[in-house]
Amino acid sequence: WSSRRHTAMFEKQIVIDGKGHLLGRLAATVAKEILNGQKVVIVRCEDINMSGSFYRNKLKYLAFLRKRCAVHPNRGAFHFRAPGRIMWRTIRGMLPHKTQRGAEALKRLKCFEGIPAPYDKVKKVLVPSALRVVRLQPHRKYCNIGRISHEVGWKYKDVVEDLEDKRREKAAAYYADKKKAAKVRAQAVKNVSSQLAAVNKTLGEYGY
């Protein structure tokens, strides 16, 4: 066995905001983590980027759609249109998913369009090594998975956009109330600071 330590995250669940990430680089990072035992959720898959122009990537996907079983097309290949399923299938291709280890790893992955509950109230993280602004040169062309999905048969682009608008409105209202409450609390602390000076001094002597 190798003595090198594994650099796994080992948290209960990691929620990744997919917006602005490159498809392949994000998929490779997530594949390694779920193989190591980490549960991963990817949200906003429709805003994941692919390097290369939209026209080129759409032609590649249309070529992929033509690949099927000549004897009985219902046997496969199965062509997912939704951005979340495209991301899921990309990661599956990086796993030994026909073995027990790979199948268990795939169960630890979830991919969503938009940010559904309860993940709208959970802290989300980025993967710096997979960000487009970090890895792709400024003059290079890129496109969104969501646009490709929409043009090859995904029917829920408008639905997801409407739900996301509603989520942003609720989040903005919540943040405004939070700032208001914080301002009131800060003023209350300021009002009684002179009365608590002696107490705070005593607490400070004991390390609090």
| pLDDT tens profile 14-65 | 999 999 999 999 999 999 999 999 999 999 999 999 999 999 999 999 999 9
Could you tell me if 64 and 135 are in contact, meaning their C-beta atoms sit under 8 angstroms apart? no
pLDDT in tens, 95-112: 999 999 999 999 999 999
pTM: 0.86
Least confident of 1-5, 94-98, 180-184: 1-5
Which residues have C-beta within 8 Å of that of residue 6, sequence separation ≥ 6?
36
- Residue 207 makes CB contacts below 8 A (sequence gap 6+) with none
Q: Decide if 141 contacts 50 (C-beta within 8 A).
A: no
Q: How far is CA 17 from the centre of its chain?
A: 3
The strand ranges marked E within the chain are: 14-17, 40-43, 49-51, 109-111, 142-144
How many secondary structure helices (H) and strands (E) does the chain include? 8, 5
- Omega before 77 within 30 of 0, i.e. cis: yes
To the nearest 10 degrees (0 to 180), the angle between helices 83-92 and 23-35 is 60
Residue type, 39: K
The pLDDT of residue 5 is above 60: no
Q: Is 113 exposed, middle or buried (0-12, 13-18, 19+ CB in 10 A)?
A: buried
- The mean pLDDT value of the chain amounts to 92
67: tokens are: 């690949």
Q: Is the pLDDT of residue 202 over 70?
A: yes
The span from the CA of 64 to the CA of 32, in Å, is 26
Q: What is the pLDDT of residue 203?
A: 87
